[in-house]
Amino acid sequence: MSDTALREILDSHGSESGSLVPVLQEIQGKYGYLPAEAMIEVAKRLRVDEATVYSVATFYAQFKLVPTGKHQVKVCCGTACHVRGGSKILDAAERELGIGAGATTEDREYSLDRVACFGSCALAPVVVVDKDVYGRMTPSRVKSVLDDSVRGGQQE
Amino acid sequence: MTFAEIKQRSLSRWETKQRTDKVRIIVGAGTCGQAAGARAVLRAIQASLAKHNLDASITQVGCIGLCYAEPLMDVVKPGQPRLCYGNVTPENAAQIIEDYLLRDNPRPDLALGTLGEGNIPGIPSLKDHPVLGPQVRIALRNCGNLDPRDIDGYIANGAYSGLVRALSMKPEAVIAEIKESGLRGRGGAGFPTGLKWEACRNAPGQPKYLVCNADEGDPGAFMNRALLEGDPHAVLEGMLIGAHAVGAREGYIYVRAEYPLAIEHLNTALAQMHDYGLVGDNIVGSGLSFHLKIKEGAGAFVCGEETALLASIEGKPGIPRVRPPFPAQAGLWGKPTVINNVETWGHVSAIMQKGASWFGGYGARTSKGTKTFSLVGKVARTGLIEVPMGMTLRQIVYDIGGGTSSGKPLKAVQTGGPSGGCLPASLLDLSVDYDSLAQAGAIMGSGGMIVADEDTCMVDLARYFLTFTQSESCGKCVPCRLGTRQMLMILEDITAGRGTPESMELLAELAESVKAGSLCGLGQTTPNPVLTTLRYFRDEYEAHIREKRCPALVCKDLIQYYIQPEKCRACMICLRNCPVEAISGGKRQVHVIDQSRCTKCGTCMDVCPEKFSAVTKLSGQPIPAATPAERSVWQLG
Ligand SMILES: Cc1cc2nc3c(=O)[nH]c(=O)nc-3n(C[C@H](O)[C@H](O)[C@H](O)COP(=O)(O)O)c2cc1C
Ligand code: FES
């Protein structure tokens, strides 16, 4: 972790406590997770307790305290996806990647997560890989979608 | 510049664009369009235009709501109406371009219909389309029609004229007009918007704040996403009107992080408004100053609750607090704050553009105007709709939605998400308004509407909702934190076949206590899906508990996959695809599932060719005794 990158993020926000969530979001965007040293630095800068930073970091589902994989695979487990067989898609993704939801593959290529809803419910079930949204999924399509991500996604 | 000058300029820019001799191609590229493959379609269109050396403009618009037919592509030839094609693939997009643009064949076989004025022989008008016909689009007036990245189109079509009208009125008069319209909050609780504004205006304390709740936490609902993506200006204009009425100088839009495209369009819209002097200091010379910031959520359902949302903006964990004081008295940083839902703001701008009595002319007695719904689940025509309140569930699900997608009987309609209820088919003639839904044990909620057919297990659905709310409970108050956990454990027992005859009474009793004892709306409404399923689908609970049977064949622990020997053609497909090698058999040898190894993933059923359909699910009955053909497989295996 480079100190300058962190300093830049901190400098670009004010020191009021309302900046806490956006600062953490930016750090996570940069590093893929929230390194402990960064959280300590944030506490100092925003003049809040380390415990406060930690409580915010652990409250919101978005924040990760451990490094995640290169590709983020997210399977929707919202209601529309659930009634259209979303759990089978999750099973298939778990089988394909050999990890459970919430985990990262050993080679750090993929992280797998369940997400509440992407707002594409009309095309349920839905999977998102990095920034690409895939609708009308079937268990047997999961593999090709994962291969897609290695080739650089759906492309512009 | 005055607003009149701005409008003049936008109009002429817009009209130039409309009047070009160029062909225009419009692609639905909202999140759902993209999920259906709109980007591949776009690439195919560009390639085809280049190949034939054709000059056409390509516009990307938000969601028109016909999500079941995504990807959508419209072609407008000069002097011809806008022609809409559905379920477009990259291949037929290229074909449409060749046929329509080069050979003047509009391909009626691929077309959904025409939009707007004029007609093309052999192609219906979408005005008469079963999905669009019954709709009244007020909040969604521009979604799918205009390019959200171009403010001129909106201004040319009436945007900000409501603001200008409001600015010519006293704040009190604006509030009176909103009151008169009968507008109630679209975020769930249905509180009268005008009353909320008045309370905030009259509350002591400065500065005052406005907040737009775009957290859209209901998993299975996307009305707010579609509105922000397709018409950010409807919402932003509403907030400017609110700022004038309430006397606020600062506002926040709290958007969930899962909606990156909505955030992008909001940012673009705000930047263009800045350039036009429509936000910031001294807006269009009126003296009104209003500054807006976008805050991204960080993934917590409870942050949709207003006090939790305000805490989150302040940089704290999103934990609700007791009301009163209500945000209108003490909200953001303890100051009077109006918080309204995205759609509420979208209606505010429409009301100020067209007047309270026009708006009040739609809807039911205590539920005025229209409401957007995301019609999803096991329904044939999924999508985003906006209808006058008071329409019946049957009209929505059958006339607009086309009935169930499977063609099987409808079992239930779930409204209001995790806070709402499951209504049985016998209540299909219920009027969809705040009061009727509440009486039936459900709620209007923000507009999620999920259709369940015979293959949906209602006990599993209740368990699903509890899994969600249990993990989203913030943990502050005991009834919610522990009560939801205990309720979930009982439901897990029932779906796993461990339910006892006492389970249902215990569940009902717990549900009532959690409802009565919880601090915020999350805990108070979490029991609704459980209570309504207990009320309307008791027989399904009993089948799980007494017969260890899941009638919908959903609950994994209560079902077994079985290959019917008389139907199996020994094609080896399931055998090869089974991820745990639980299927034995061979060429010309019936396939048999080893139940002790089967993980019930369902792969065999998915891959078994439809013409054989040999794999079935059984529940509450033993696997039939092995036939001689099956026994011979066992002996080999
Ligand atoms: C658990 C919970 C979640 C909520 N989620 C949302 C939401 O996602 N969007 C929303 O607008 N309102 C939500 N609400 C309602 C808000 O608390 C609040 O009533 C609403 O934003 C007020 O705006 P309105 O009057 O325009 O409806 C939620 C309430 C609860 C209790
Ligand atoms: S429920 Fe899956 S995208 Fe909304």
DSSP string covering B328-386: TTS-GGGS-EEEEEHHHHHHHHHHHHH-HHHHHTSB-SSSBSEEEEEEEESBSS-EEEE
Residues of B in contact with A91 (CB under 8 A): 601
In whole angstroms, what is the distance from residue A20 CA to residue A28 CA?
12
- Indicate if A47 and A82 belong to the same structural domain: no
- Other Cβ atoms less than 10 A from the Cβ of A102: the count is 10
Widest pairwise Cα distance in chain A: 51
Say if CB B361 and CB B173 are below 8 A apart. no
Which ligand is closest in space to the CA of residue A117? 2
- Other Cβ atoms less than 10 A from the Cβ of B397: the count is 23
Looking at residues B138-161, what average pLDDT do you find?
96
Residues of A in contact with B315 (CB under 8 A): 16-21, 46, 56
Sorted by sequence, the CB contacts under 8 Å of residue A147 that are 6+ apart come out as none
What's the domain range around A51?
Answer: 4-59
What residues pair up with B448 in beta bridges, in sequence order?
A: B374
Find residues 354-393 of chain B whose CB sits inside 8 Å of chain A.
Answer: 374-378, 382-384
- Indicate if A53 and A76 belong to the same structural domain: no
Q: Which uninterrupted H or E stretch holds B562? A: strand B559-563
The shortest C-alpha distance from B330 to chain A (Å) reads 17
CATH topology of domain B160-360: Rossmann fold (3.40.50)
Strands of B56-61's sheet in order across: B56-61, B23-28, B73-76, B82-85, B111-115
Asked if A121 lies within 8 A of B601 by C-beta distance, the reply is no
Asked if A61 lies within 8 A of B222 by C-beta distance, the reply is no
Pocket test for ligand 1, best of B305, B332, B374 (most atoms within 8 A of CB): B305
Asked if A60 lies within 8 A of B450 by C-beta distance, the reply is no
Asked if B35 lies within 8 A of A126 by C-beta distance, the reply is yes
Widest pairwise Cα distance in chain B: 90
Please say if the pLDDT value at position B483 is more than 50.
Answer: yes
Looking at residues A151-156, what average pLDDT do you find?
58
Asked if B258 lies within 8 A of A22 by C-beta distance, the reply is no
Find residues 277-336 of chain B whose CB sits inside 8 Å of chain A.
Answer: 295-301, 312-319
Return the ligand 1 atom nearest residue B196 CA.
Answer: 25
CATH topology of domain B370-456: Ubiquitin-like (UB roll) (3.10.20)
Question: Which CATH number fits the domain that encloses residue A101?
Answer: 3.40.30.10
- Indicate if A95 and A137 belong to the same structural domain: yes
Q: Please tell me the CATH code under which domain B559-632 is placed.
A: 3.30.70.20
Looking at residues B555-583, what average pLDDT do you find?
95
The reply to whether B260 touches chain A by the CB within 8 Å rule is: yes
Q: pLDDT (tens digit, 9 = 90+) per residue, B10-40?
A: 999 999 888 778 899 999 988 889 999 999 9
CB-nearest partner of A118 from B31, B601, B606: B31
Please say if the pLDDT value at position B152 is more than 60.
Answer: yes
CATH topology of domain B17-128: Glutaredoxin (3.40.30)
Minimum mean pLDDT range among B16-25, B126-135, B407-416, B551-560: B16-25
Please say if the pLDDT value at position A156 is more than 60.
Answer: no
- Indicate if A106 and A85 belong to the same structural domain: yes
Q: pLDDT (tens digit, 9 = 90+) per residue, B42-93?
A: 999 999 999 999 999 999 998 899 999 999 999 999 989 999 999 999 999 9
Average pLDDT along chain B: 95
Centroid of ligand 2 to alpha carbon of B219 (angstroms)? 6
Asked if A83 lies within 8 A of B461 by C-beta distance, the reply is yes
- Indicate if A51 and A75 belong to the same structural domain: no
Ligand 2 pocket check for A133: Cβ under 6 Å: no
Give the per-residue pLDDT at B628: 86
Sorted by sequence, the CB contacts under 8 Å of residue B77 that are 6+ apart come out as B23, B83, B100, B101
Looking at residues B320-331, what average pLDDT do you find?
96
Give the per-residue pLDDT at A155: 46
Structure-model confidence comparison of residues B535 and A154, the more confident one: B535
- Indicate if A80 and A144 belong to the same structural domain: yes
The reply to whether B407 touches chain A by the CB within 8 Å rule is: no
- Indicate if A99 and A50 belong to the same structural domain: no
Select from B464, B495, B555, B581 the residue whose CB has the most chain A CBs within 10 Å, as the one to mutate to test that interface. B464
Residues of A in contact with B218 (CB under 8 A): 79, 117
Say if CB B368 and CB B359 are below 8 A apart. yes
Select from B39, B261, B316 the residue whose CB has the most chain A CBs within 10 Å, as the one to mutate to test that interface. B316
Asked if A83 lies within 8 A of B474 by C-beta distance, the reply is no
Please give the C-alpha separations between residue B336 and each of B86, B205, B207, B255, in angstroms, as whole numbers: 48, 7, 8, 21
Asked if B602 lies within 8 A of A139 by C-beta distance, the reply is yes
Asked if B377 lies within 8 A of A95 by C-beta distance, the reply is no
Give the per-residue pLDDT at B30: 87
- pTM, two decimal places: 0.94
Task: Indicate the residue among A34, A59, A84 that finishes a domain.
Answer: A59
CB-nearest partner of B315 from A18, A132, A136: A18
In whole angstroms, what is the distance from residue B362 CA to residue B367 CA?
9
Say if CB B563 and CB B592 are below 8 A apart. yes
In whole angstroms, what is the distance from residue B410 CA to residue B171 CA?
49
Please say if the pLDDT value at position B637 is more than 50.
Answer: no
- Count of domains observed in chain A: 2
Give the per-residue pLDDT at B21: 82
Please say if the pLDDT value at position B629 is more than 90.
Answer: no
Q: Which residue of B has its CA nearest to A88?
A: B601
Confidence of residue A154 (pLDDT cuts 50, 70, 90): low
Question: What is the b/e burial string over B21-41, where b = at least 16 CB atoms within 10 angstroms of the residue's CB?
Answer: eebbbbbbbbbbbbbbbbbbb
CB-nearest partner of A136 from B36, B375, B474: B36
The shortest C-alpha distance from B130 to chain A (Å) reads 17
- Indicate if A86 and A134 belong to the same structural domain: yes
Assigned domain for A103 exists:
yes
Give the position of tokens 């406060």.
A52
In whole angstroms, what is the distance from residue B17 CA to residue B2 CA?
23
Q: Which uninterrupted H or E stretch holds B590? A: strand B589-593
In whole angstroms, what is the distance from residue B350 CA to residue B361 CA?
13
- Indicate if A47 and A97 belong to the same structural domain: no
The reply to whether B449 touches chain A by the CB within 8 Å rule is: no
User: Whose Cα sits closest to atom 6 in ligand 1?
Assistant: B304
Give the position of tokens 């329409």.
B391
Paired tokens of A13: 């926000």
* ipTM for the assembly: 0.93
- Indicate if A47 and A16 belong to the same structural domain: yes
pLDDT more than 70, % of chain B: 99
- Indicate if A95 and A142 belong to the same structural domain: yes
Assigned domain for A51 exists:
yes
Q: Which residue of B has its CA nearest to A52?
A: B316
Return the ligand 1 atom nearest residue B256 CA.
Answer: 8
Assigned domain for A155 exists:
no
Pocket test for ligand 2, best of A88, A126, A137 (most atoms within 8 A of CB): A126
Whole-number CA gyration radius for chain A? 18
> What residue type is B115 in one-letter code?
L
CATH 1.20.1440.230 describes domain B459-546: yes
Q: pLDDT (tens digit, 9 = 90+) per residue, B364-392?
A: 999 999 999 999 999 999 999 999 999 99
Q: How many CA atoms lie within 13 A of B37 on its CB side?
A: 19
Looking at residues A25-47, what average pLDDT do you find?
94
Assigned domain for A141 exists:
yes
Sorted by sequence, the CB contacts under 8 Å of residue A7 that are 6+ apart come out as none
Return the ligand 1 atom nearest residue B344 CA.
Answer: 26
> What residue type is A26 in one-letter code?
E
pLDDT more than 90, % of chain B: 92
Paired tokens of B361: 């002319």
Please say if the pLDDT value at position B458 is more than 90.
Answer: yes
The reply to whether B32 touches chain A by the CB within 8 Å rule is: yes
Domain boundaries, chain B: 17-128, 160-360, 370-456, 459-546, 559-632
Please say if the pLDDT value at position B444 is more than 50.
Answer: yes
Give the per-residue pLDDT at B634: 62
- Indicate if A142 and A77 belong to the same structural domain: yes
Assigned domain for A113 exists:
yes
